[in-house]
Amino acid sequence: MSDSSALIARLRRLAAGDGAAQGAAAPVDAWLAHGLTGAQLHEIYAVEEGDGPSGAGFGIAVALAARAMPLLWLRTEACERTQGRLHASGLIELGLSAESLVLGIVADEAALLRAAADAARCPGLGTVLVESVGRAPGFDLTATRRLMLAAESSGVTVLSLRIGAAPTASAAATRWGVAAVPSIALDQGTGAGAPGFAAFDVECLRRRGGPAGQRWRVEWDRDAKSFRGASLSGAGFSVAPGRAAARHPAAPVRRTG
């Protein structure tokens, strides 16, 4: 089957609800109840470039679920321009307090890699979220191996958030594809229709030493600091001003490496 035929077949299965059925085969709390494994490098790929805020939200949520605070968020000046400045209200809605976040903005990809490597060696941090936009060729097998070794040595969890990039070979323990999905409005019976919990479409694209391919629609409960299975209707959310959550099923991300 050609790549285009496989893509069309996958989209048809998603439209028919196949993705939700697949996720039901393995409860999401078996994978994400306590965030992602600590002292490791994990990759989070935005399925589409507009899913960058949801990828960031998922990264923050898994860090909170693991109680891996404080969080150092590293991004380039290009990220500031294309993704927008961080939206304080959106971060608070996720449960991330101001005293738990340190933001570092660097000039370019080379500076980002240097800052990430230094931060990954700092045991005073809980999580380092490294955000990059575009191909970012510097995040190759050698660089990600350095990040993994630093994380294993210090106990810090490193999350590499990739936006507008195709997956390439890396040393990451897991790789996730994340897309925005509508959440369920609260108090539907009363007609209030307040926005519901932040919701994500997540798929484990790669898992070192274990099975991958599981996919779920999940909601993030900021009070319980946990994920739970989600239905498929309602409104979205954003952690960057002017960046509306996408309202479409997740497109496939090719597994590599």
Q: How far is CA 224 from CA 28, 184, 185, 227, in A?
A: 15, 18, 19, 9
For residue 128, with 0-12 CB atoms within 10 Å meaning exposed, 13-18 middle and 19 or more buried, which class applies?
A: buried
Tokens of 189: 């019976």
Check: CB of residue 135 under 8 Å from CB of residue 78: no
Check: CB of residue 253 under 8 Å from CB of residue 177: yes
Query: Residue 135's Cα: distance from chain center in Å?
Result: 17
Averaged pLDDT for residues 189-214: 83
Q: Quick check: pTM over 0.95? A: no
- Domains of the chain (ranges; CATH) run 3-229 (3.40.50.300)
Over residues 30-73, the pLDDT tens digits come to 788 889 999 999 999 999 989 999 999 999 999 999 999 999 99
Instruction: Give pLDDT, residue 130.
Output: 98
Nearest-angstrom CA–CA distance, 3 and 104: 39
User: Sorting pLDDT into bands at 50, 70 and 90, what band is 231?
Assistant: low
Averaged pLDDT for residues 89-104: 95
Q: How far is CA 10 from CA 49, 153, 167, 179, 250, in A?
A: 20, 40, 18, 16, 10
Nearest-angstrom CA–CA distance, 11 and 244: 23
